[in-house]
A = this chain, B = another copy of it.
Amino acid sequence: MGKAAATRLTILQKAFELIYINGYQSTSIDDIIATTKVTKGAFFYHFKNKEEMGLAVINEMMEQTMGKMLLEPLLSSENPLNAIYEMMEYLLIQDPYLQIKYGCPTNNLIQEMAPLNEKFSEALSKIMNQMLLAIENAIERAKNLGLVKAAVNSKEVAIFVTSGYGGIRNLGKLYGTNDYYQAYLKALKSYFESLE
């Protein structure tokens, strides 16, 4: 990676980190450059404005991570329903980059920016579509494997499960303890059993 590309990446990484913690609007460009060795001139050389940088964070940082975290394990799983549960458990309990008090980066940005900025909505929709589709396909595959009742509507379940994930992340932010995560996971497991 060239030096210029490294500078750009430094900006995006720090920006992602600060946006995850404080939100997009509360993250100032001065914040980003103060905690890196990047100057304002370099920042505006790489990005036309703050909005373009925010979109790059979504498209180049968040989307990739989400894809690798989701599509790969779900696509090849022998027990798709179980794979979804494991993914949730990983995201909520194991993932070292996500913290209870800061919630889920994607859901945070949706909450903050969806009503305010069409471009952000589009970029975030791609990520959520990835997630919804991955789960829907997994359920569909579970149906074909005879692991889930044929009457189950895959799309509805995907929406239901994805909603639950976003919501429990928000409850985690509020209460700051993973007790709620544990309770949620138990209920999720029961729910999945009801689909068999």
Complexed CA–CA distance, A112 and B112 (Å):
7
What's the minimum C-beta distance from A180 to chain B, rounded to whole angstroms? 6
Copies of this polypeptide in the complex: 2
Contacts of A116 in B (CB 8 A): 22, 26
**Interface membership of A73, Cβ < 8 A:** no
* B159 lies within 8 A of A180 (CB): yes
Complexed CA–CA distance, A129 and B77 (Å):
38
Complexed CA–CA distance, A86 and B191 (Å):
20
Complexed CA–CA distance, A170 and B169 (Å):
12
Contacts of A121 in B (CB 8 A): 174, 176
Complexed CA–CA distance, A141 and B148 (Å):
30
* B168 lies within 8 A of A184 (CB): no
Contact pick for A191, options B125, B162, B191, CB 8 Å: B191
**Interface membership of A2, Cβ < 8 A:** no
**Interface membership of A15, Cβ < 8 A:** no
Q: A112-B23, A194-B191 are in contact. Are A166 and B155 (CB under 8 A)?
A: no
A22, A101, A110 pick with most chain B CB within 10 angstroms: A110
**Interface membership of A40, Cβ < 8 A:** no
Q: Which residue of B lies closest to A151 (CB)?
A: B190
Contact pick for A173, options B114, B155, B162, B170, CB 8 Å: B114
Contacts of A107 in B (CB 8 A): 111, 167, 170
Contacts of A153 in B (CB 8 A): 183, 186-187
**Interface membership of A157, Cβ < 8 A:** yes
Contacts of A108 in B (CB 8 A): 111
Complexed CA–CA distance, A156 and B185 (Å):
9
What's the minimum C-beta distance from A129 to chain B, rounded to whole angstroms? 9
In addition to A110-B170, A125-B175, 6 A-B residue pairs with Cβ atoms within 8 Å of each other are A107-B167, A114-B173, A125-B174, A128-B171, A155-B183, A160-B184
